[in-house]
Amino acid sequence: MYVPFLDHPRPIAFAHRGGAAHAPENSWSAFEHAVKLGYAYLETDARATSDGKLMAFHDLNLDRVTDAVGPISLKPYRVVAALRVAGTEPIPLIEDLLGAWPDLRFNIDLKDEGGIPLLPGVLRRTGAWDRVCVTSFSGARLRAARKLLDHPVCMTTSPSAIAAVRCSIGAGASGLGRAQGPPTRLLARRFSKTEVCCAQVPGRVATGSFVRRAHAFGLDVHVWTINDRAGMTRFLDLDVDGIMTDDIEALREVLIERGQWYPRMGA
């Protein structure tokens, strides 16, 4: 199945939260640095303000990265817009990020229910349907988003689908024979029907057997959050399709050394 979001040479390099090792996470400075390095894929998080603005912000509460307290969902946009991450950086709107770089792809992690009904409008106004992938640790949030999106959008697997892939039995050179649970073809068909195109998993899950099984189901495998060069090399040797990292300079160097660095057009 052709998926515009994934129409890029593998492996894909993702700037996790913009590249949080070099600038405050999910900040304009972080994203701008990643763009200057040539990153074609940016990863961010989405949370809603109390009055319906979708912000690039990871935590439930504001406390860790700003001098404010309490959930971002209880603050109106005018208050959130005045806050500064690490004392210097404004919190971006997801819509502004999508509009700033219309040639880049964005991996958007839906962090709360309030952001779900806001996402379709953001994608509609920016025309960004083909260059986003929607992900979440919550299967319920992914299902709710899928129902509201009125245009095909790349989606990641739910936690239950990841478990199904992990429980399948590898066999032979193909890496997958019979599967426990849903048969391979039926599960692969279900992924395709629901625009599920990739499994995004932590490093401890992305074993060689998992990667082979996911590929047999027609899924790309993106692993997070890998910040050391040895780990980057190990997962690339396992044939993962993408790596998410805070240390975007190190990942770029590793990929250049391997002849696997594929920057954005014009970079």
Collapsed DSSP state (helix, strand, coil) of residue 113 = helix
Q: What residue numbers bound the domain in which 70 lies?
A: 10-156+225-257
Segment holding 215, helix H or strand E = helix 208-216
What's the confidence (pLDDT) of residue 181? 47
Both tokens assigned to 261: 């660095």
Query: Hey, is 155 helix, strand or coil?
Result: strand
Catalytic residue among 22, 58, 151, 222: 58
Phi and psi at residue 106, in whole multiples of 5°?
-125, 130
pLDDT digits (tens, 9 = 90+) for 67-79: 999 999 999 999 9
Please report whether residue 81 resides in a domain. Answer: yes
Give the position of tokens 């709360």.
112
207 in a domain, yes or no? no
Domain count, the chain: 1
33 is catalytic: no
Q: For residue 180, is pLDDT > 60?
A: no
219 inside domain: no
Q: Once rounded to an integer, what is the mean pLDDT over residues 253-263?
A: 98
- 58 an active-site residue? yes
pLDDT band at 177 (very low <50, low <70, confident <90, very high): very low
Q: Are 116 and 153 in contact (CB under 8 A)?
A: no
197 is a domain residue: no
CA contacts within 13 A on the Cβ side of 234: 13
Cβ atoms of 23 and 232 closer than 8 Å: no
Determine if residue 249 is left, alpha or beta; phi over 0 gives left, psi from -120 to 50 gives alpha, anything else beta: alpha
pLDDT at 175: 40
Kindly state whether residue 217 falls inside one of the protein's structural domains. no
Question: Within a 13 Å sphere around the CA of 219, how many CA atoms are in the beta-carbon half?
Answer: 34
- CA-to-CA dists, residue 71 to 20, 60, 64, 94, 118, angstroms: 21, 5, 11, 18, 18
Type and span of the H or E element at 216: helix 208-216
Q: Which of 16, 33, 215, 222 is catalytic?
A: 16
Tell me, yes or no, whether 43 lies in a domain: yes
pLDDT tens profile 105-161: 999 999 999 999 999 999 999 999 999 999 999 999 999 999 999 999 999 999 999
Assigned domain for 247 exists: yes
Whichever domain contains 16, its CATH number is 3.20.20.190
Task: Please check whether residue 28 lies inside any domain of the structure.
Answer: yes
Query: The dihedral of CA 18, 22, 25, 27: what is its sign?
Result: negative
Return the percentage of the chain with pLDDT > 70, whole number: 92
> Cα 158 to chain center, whole Å?
13
> Three-class SS of residue 230?
helix
Q: What band does 243 get if pLDDT is binned at 50, 70 and 90?
A: very high
